[in-house]
Amino acid sequence: MTAVAAAASAVQPVIVTVNLPPASSLLPILQVCATVFVGLVGVYVAYTIQTRQAATAERGAKTAANKLRLDLFEKRSAIFSAADDLIRDLCLLSSDEKTGLQNRGAARKRHAELTRQMNGANWLFDDAIAQFLGDCSRDAWKRITAHYSASRDDWSDEQWEEHLSADRDRVKADTEALESRFKPFMHIDAA
């Protein structure tokens, strides 16, 4: 026999005895551990769902705010366009008799459109803009009806040119006033 074989035969197996409690006494400990584990899993799942719901709600709130800003911008833009179109059409009233009659009809339609659009102006703009639009509407109507009584034949060429020049200057001034008054409200983020 070799030295290793002799040493291996000399080693006696050691038997360790562990005194475990009976299985019935481990059951309550396992039940408590399982209950705690299930509770922790439930808390984790609830937290994960709540976090996702909060993120979804936040995105929904941002989307709603952006939609509101876009809606306000579109409504303000429609009122601005109606006023701008009317002001520009007023300049065309002083053309020749045939075209002037056609332009009066167009200006009356533009005036009706501005009047319709102005119904919501009090809620979309401050009081100064609503007042400005009312003044524009009244002034436009006076200019539309005044041109019914004016005829090209009533004026000399020089008077007619002065009249046209004054109309162009007035339209330019009215357009600039409109743009300057509306400018603070005509940004998509101006809610």
Please choose, from the candidates 93, 149, 131, 140, the residue with its C-alpha nearest in 3D space to the C-alpha of residue 112: 140
Dihedral angle at the C-alpha atoms of 127, 129, 135, 138, nearest 10 degrees? -100
**Structure-token pair, residue 161:** 């040119």
pLDDT at 6: 60
The packing angle between helices 23-91 and 127-149, to 10°, is 30
Q: What is the pLDDT along the chain (191 residues), one digit of tens a residue?
A: 566 556 556 666 667 676 666 666 778 888 889 999 999 999 999 999 999 999 999 999 999 999 998 998 898 888 888 888 888 777 766 555 545 555 677 778 888 888 888 887 878 888 888 888 888 888 888 877 775 555 666 667 787 778 778 777 887 888 888 888 888 888 777 55
Cα–Cα distance for residue pair 149/151, rounded to 1 Å:
7
Q: How much is the pLDDT for 13?
A: 66
Say how far apart CA 137 and CA 62 lie, in whole Å: 37
Q: Is the pTM of this model over 0.75?
A: no
Which of 159, 157, 167 lies closest to 100 in space, CA to CA?
167
